């Protein structure tokens, strides 16, 4: 499968990991669009919300829960941050469900 996230999970592509457990991996975006730009992904390849089955309910909830831990580790938990759940084709290479944790630059 030619999926960039699966390659990152399998260490075929290096990443700056900030959190990892059996189900979830979080890492800094290689091309950050915000001062803090972390991607939180399920290790199970789920391309779209419409591909989810009932068991994935907990996994997707866990992504949000991990975002809290990551924000705490990065020292931004109390500052406020934005969570974006992307589904399907957002960018050419990113077609898999992931949660973005971003701190917006205030301009």
Write out the residues near Zn ion by the rule CB under 5 A. 3, 5-6, 45, 96
Question: Which residue sits closest to Zn ion, CB atoms considered?
Answer: 3
Which residues make Cβ contacts (< 8 Å) with residue 19, sequence separation at least 6?
25, 26, 40, 66, 69, 70, 73
Residue 68 CB, nearest distance to Zn ion (Å)?
24
Residue 79 CB, nearest distance to Zn ion (Å)?
31
Cβ 20 vs Cβ 66: under 8 Å: no
Q: Which is nearer to Zn ion, 3 or 77 (CB)?
A: 3
Helix, strand, or coil here: 38? strand
Residue 97 CB, nearest distance to Zn ion (Å)?
9
Structure tokens at 43: 């290790």
Q: Which is nearer to Zn ion, 10 or 33 (CB)?
A: 10
């Amino acid at each position: 499968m030619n999926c960039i996230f699966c390659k990152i999970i399998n260490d075929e592509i290096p990443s700056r990991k900030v959190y990892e457990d059996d189900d979830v991996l979080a890492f800094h975006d290689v091309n950050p669009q915000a001062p803090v730009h972390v991607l939180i992904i399920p290790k199970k390849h789920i391309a779209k919300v419409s591909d989810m089955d009932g068991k994935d309910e907990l996994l997707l909830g866990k992504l949000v829960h991990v975002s809290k831990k990551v924000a705490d580790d990065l020292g931004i938990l109390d500052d406020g941050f934005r969570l974006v759940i992307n589904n399907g084709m957002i960018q050419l290479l990113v077609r898999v469900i992931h949660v973005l944790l971003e701190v917006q630059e205030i301009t």
